[in-house]
Structure 1
Amino acid sequence: MSATHGHGAERADAGRRAAVITVSDRAAAGTRVDESGPLAVALLGDAGWHADLRVVPDELDAIARGIRAAVAGGARLVVTTGGTGLAPRDVTPEATAPLLDRLLPGIAEEIRRVGSAGIRTAVLSRGVAGVRDGALIVNLAGSPGAVRDGVPIVVGVVDHVVQQLGGGDHSPAKSREDARS
């Protein structure tokens, strides 16, 4: 199942294409409403990213196909929601990690840190982050709360990641003190 959502598309330029992939057996089967995927699309749209949404079952091949297709289709950012827990069918990190050219563990660590401030079990998320073929790929847990916590972290670094992947220099990020002046 695939749907395109234009939220924020009028503000997004051509280089700010994203894909959101919801990983859920029940949402893919139509027996549960996907709340986290549409929320991620909306939050990315608010940040100026045009995001397409796809829902796939908790299956290694389906997840990997979705990520590969998103990157091949021009997405510079891919956010997955769901499948990062401990249940036997939670396989999003296992599907994602082999696709990555480089891991960016600091992103996943920060997502877990911020999430655990609100809910202790956020530290159990096994989500990974990294890059593939010029795109940032990040796994988020499948709850709306995890998406609300995680998307701002991703949005805060994605432009720098994309710039670096395109050969940009290492311009220092503004410190909090620089941002105040």
Structure 2
Amino acid sequence: MSRTARVITVSDRAAAGVREDLSGPTGAELLTNAGWEAPVVIVPDERTLIESAVRAAVADGARLVVTTGGTGIGPRDVTPEATLPLLDPVIPGIAEELRRIGAVKVPAALLSRGVAGIHDGALVVNLAGSPGAVRDGIPVILGLVDHVLSQHAGGDHA
């Protein structure tokens, strides 16, 4: 299986260069340490740009796409709305677990509206936009990605 991933940081300020992206590089480092090639792309909080970035990542061969940012309840937080129409099937248990483990440390993690599922044979997961959420979430994703992709491709249960 290809070990190509893409991390997509969703942030108006990081895309404009007025704030350093901390969560994207954190995710890329964790994925790289686990054997994945994981470049980072930064896009503003715009539904069409987020959707295009996810589609482009998968078209470029990514089997895992992790977004970071834009999952909250603010008016510019549109990552779930951009991602959800791309997913078939949706895998709600992943997002539920990410919220659960995040809330152990930061109760506001329950406000994340991130989603997860399959887009054209790749696992796509929305994480909140903090380095802590990424550090907590990537191990969950890494523990599931191989099984998810195998199952989606018709593999048997291990």
User: What is the aligned partner in structure 2 of residue 169 from structure 1?
Assistant: 156
Alpha-carbon deviation of 1:165? Answer: 2.1
Letter in structure 2 aligned against 1:34: D
State which of 20, 25, 36 in structure 2 corresponds to 1:38: 25
Alpha-carbon deviation of 1:66? Answer: 0.1
Extract unaligned runs of 5+ from structure 2. none
State which of 61, 70, 74 in structure 2 corresponds to 1:83: 70
Alpha-carbon deviation of 1:166? Answer: 2.2
User: What is the aligned partner in structure 2 of residue 17 from structure 1?
Assistant: 4
In the alignment, does 2:146 pair up with 1:159? yes
User: What is the aligned partner in structure 1 of residue 125 from structure 2?
Assistant: 138
For 1:119-130, what aligned pairs fall within 5 Å after superposition? 119-130=106-117
In the alignment, does 2:99 pair up with 1:112? yes
User: What is the aligned partner in structure 2 of residue 59 from structure 1?
Assistant: 46
State which of 7, 10, 13 in structure 2 corresponds to 1:26: 13
Identity rate of aligned residues, in percent? 66
Distance in 2, Cα, partners of 1:85 & 1:127: 8
Letter in structure 2 aligned against 1:85: G
Q: Secondary structure at the match of 1:103?
A: coil
Distance in 1, Cα, partners of 2:119 & 2:73: 25
Extract unaligned runs of 5+ from structure 1. 1-13, 172-181
User: Paired residues, what number?
Assistant: 158
Deviation by residue 1:40-88 (Cα, 9 ceiling, x = unmatched) = 0000011111111100000000000000000111100000000000110
Q: Secondary structure at the match of 1:39?
A: helix
User: What is the aligned partner in structure 2 of residue 102 from structure 1?
Assistant: 89
Give 4+ residue runs of structure 1 displaced > 4 Å after superposition: none
Deviation by residue 1:66-116 (Cα, 9 ceiling, x = unmatched) = 000001111000000000001100000000000111110000000000000
Letter in structure 1 aligned against 2:119: R
Letter in structure 1 aligned against 2:42: V
Letter in structure 2 aligned against 1:110: E
In the alignment, does 2:60 pair up with 1:73? yes
TM-score, normalised relative to structure 1: 0.86
